[in-house]
Structure 1
């Protein structure tokens, strides 16, 4: 019976590592998307507000033509980037990435707790299967978000680092998130 319990514990630890890695991927995506949308919003508001403030303050300014031309160029660039953000679905991807990071982190924590303090074999099997169904559903949704190979390697490195496990390819236990030349936990 202990062998069955040990198998489930190993499965829990593996699932925790993968869920944590996925959480890390979507956390990084959310941070990147938030930064991009914040800049886009700031530029979209700052240019017209600064132009209005300058007009209100300076009135008849000799170089208005140049100021308006510069503002128009910045506005055109901002419009192009706004269009790109809509095409790439940044407004949808940001909340999804945040939610996925949270859900995967929760799965990792629950798999970890189950692996650390397992109940009896029958209860372990039942609890693992419930978590596994939830994890599979989450993975299916996350798979639709085009996770790249670079992101997978970054997530693997994050999981290996968190759970202090050695990589199957380079046999190193990562201590930092600095990329290496490993094809499993580096090159990101």
Structure 2
């Protein structure tokens, strides 16, 4: 075991953390929209009835049909959420962020130790890393997400891309098939 192997695991764990942060943001936003839409119609209708009355023509002609359309839209959006298991993907992403961030930190500390200590501690940590890698890979990571994770790691560690030989200065995507095209 050497410091390079520790750095490699730290590098890829960091990128994977960023990948799942991106997913958590995406699914978290979608789930918040569903919650908002689920409450929007009842709040609008309840507020209108409380402020005016149930006999108001605007309520009958405009507000009830509008709230009906909002409810249909929310139901369709919720159906997508259930079908594509957004809540499960969100929950997994949160756990993966925590686990990969811990691995990043642990490998960062490990690479600073003496070689004898690395040899002693590396196998157990590498076993955890491999288990996490298998679990993360089962989450259908796309090529675009892999390139995004690579770009994030290259940027963070100020490392050179092995394909385009660029040391990224910003996160913006490039034409590189290793650290861009995401």
TM-score normalized by structure 1?
A: 0.92
1:71 equivalent in structure 2: 67
The equivalent of 1:104 in structure 2 is 100
Q: Is 1:151 aligned to 2:119, yes or no?
A: no
Q: Shift in Å at residue 76 of structure 1?
A: 0.4
Q: Cα offset for 1:137?
A: 0.4
Q: Using the alignment, how far apart are the partners of 1:16 and 1:124 within structure 2?
A: 14
Superposed displacement of residue 152, structure 1: 0.4
Instruction: Give the CA deviation at 1:187.
Output: 0.6
Match of 1:187 in 2: 181
SS in 1 for 2:56: coil
**CA separation in 1, counterparts of 2:38 and 2:159?**
46
Indicate the residue corresponding to 1:16 in structure 2: 10
Structure 1: 5+ residue stretches without partners: 1-6
Q: 2:155 aligns with which of 136, 161, 178?
A: 161
The 5 Å alignment of 1:1-188 reads 8-59=2-53, 60-63=55-58, 64-115=60-111, 117-121=112-116, 123-188=117-182
Q: Which runs of 5+ in 2 are unaligned?
A: none
* Inter-partner Cα distance in structure 2 for 1:97 and 1:164: 25
- Aligned alpha-carbon RMSD (Å): 1.1
Cα offsets for 1:55-96 (capped at 9, x unmatched): 221112222222111111111011001010011111111121
